[in-house]
Amino acid sequence: MKTSFVASALAMSLALAFPVHADAGKTAMVQEAPLRAHLQFLASDLLEGRGTGQRGGDLTVAYLETQAMALGLKPGNGGSFRQPVLIAGVKTQPAESTLKLEAGGKPLDIAFGKDWVFAPGDATAAHSFNADLVFVGYGITAPDEQWNDYKGMDLKGKILVMMVNDPQPTAEQPNRFNGKGLTYYGRWTYKFEEAQRQGAAGVLLIHTTPTASYGWSVIQNSWSGVERFQLAAGTLGTQLQGWMTDDTARALFTAAGQDLDALRAAAEKKDFKPVPLAARLNGEMKAAVRKVEQFNVAAVVPGTDPKLKDEVVIYSAHWDHLGKQGDSGDTIFNGAVDNASGSAALLAMAQQAKAAPAKRSQMFLWVAAEEQGLLGSAAYASSPLWPLAKTAANLNLDSLNFVGATRDIGTQGSERTELGKLAETAAKSMGMQIAAAKPDLAGGYFRSDHFNFAKNGVPAFSIESGRDYIKDPEGSKAKAQAYGKRYHQVSDEYDASWDLSGMVQTAQYTLNLGRLIANAAKLPEWKAGDAFAVPRNK
Examine the pLDDT at 91 and tell me if it is beyond 70.
Answer: yes
Q: Three-state SS for 317? A: strand
Contacts of 427 (CB under 8 A, 6+ apart): 408, 409, 411, 433, 434, 509
Closest CA to 486 of 476, 496, 494: 494
Confidence tier at 22 by pLDDT (50, 70, 90): very low
Distance between CA atoms of residues 357 and 280, nearest Å: 61
Examine the pLDDT at 13 and tell me if it is beyond 90.
Answer: no
Distance between CA atoms of residues 529 and 378, nearest Å: 24
Distance between CA atoms of residues 311 and 388, nearest Å: 9
Closest CA to 507 of 366, 339, 341, 392: 341
Confidence tier at 25 by pLDDT (50, 70, 90): very low
Omega before residue 77 within 30° of 0, cis: no
Q: Three-state SS for 160? A: strand
Q: Which residues pair with residue 165 across a beta bridge?
A: none
pLDDT in tens, 493-504: 999 999 999 999
Determine contact, residues 346/366, Cβ cutoff 8 Å. Answer: yes
Q: In which region does residue 221 sit, left (phi positive, over 0), alpha (psi from -120 to 50) or beta (all else)?
A: alpha
Confidence tier at 181 by pLDDT (50, 70, 90): confident
pLDDT of residue 12: 42
- For the chain, the average pLDDT equals 92
Distance between CA atoms of residues 364 and 346, nearest Å: 7
DSSP 502: H
pLDDT in tens, 289-337: 999 999 999 999 999 999 999 999 999 999 999 999 988 899 999 999 9
Rounded to the nearest 10 degrees, what angle do helices 55-71 and 32-42 cross at? 160
- The average pLDDT across 80-102 equals 96
- The average pLDDT across 155-172 equals 95
In the chain, domain spans: 32-89+290-519, 90-289
Closest CA to 367 of 299, 301, 319: 319
CATH 3.40.630.10 fits 32-89+290-519, yes or no: yes
Q: Assign domain 90-289 to a CATH class.
A: alpha beta
pLDDT of residue 19: 36
Specify the range with the lowest mean pLDDT, choosing from 21-30, 37-46, 279-288. Answer: 21-30
438 residue type, one letter = K
Determine contact, residues 437/416, Cβ cutoff 8 Å. Answer: no
DSSP 488: T
pLDDT in tens, 122-149: 989 999 999 999 999 999 999 889 999 9
pLDDT in tens, 428-477: 999 999 999 887 777 778 889 999 999 899 999 999 999 999 999 999 99
**DSSP H helical segments within 241-321, as ranges?**
246-255, 260-266
Quote the pTM value. Answer: 0.81
Determine contact, residues 299/363, Cβ cutoff 8 Å. Answer: yes
pLDDT of residue 26: 58
Complete DSSP assignment for 339-404: IIHHHHHHHHHHHHHHHS--SSEEEEEEES-GGGTSHHHHHHHHS-SS-GGGEEEEEEE-S---S-
- The average pLDDT across 184-200 equals 94
Examine the pLDDT at 359 and tell me if it is beyond 60.
Answer: yes
Closest CA to 506 of 341, 393, 366: 341
Examine the pLDDT at 520 and tell me if it is beyond 60.
Answer: yes
Determine contact, residues 303/361, Cβ cutoff 8 Å. Answer: yes
Distance between CA atoms of residues 275 and 340, nearest Å: 45
Phi, psi angles (nearest 5°) of residue 65:
-65, -45
pLDDT of residue 21: 36
What distance lies between CA 63 and its chain's CA centroid? 22
Q: In which region does residue 338 sit, left (phi positive, over 0), alpha (psi from -120 to 50) or beta (all else)?
A: beta
- The average pLDDT across 30-38 equals 98
Distance between CA atoms of residues 460 and 308, nearest Å: 19
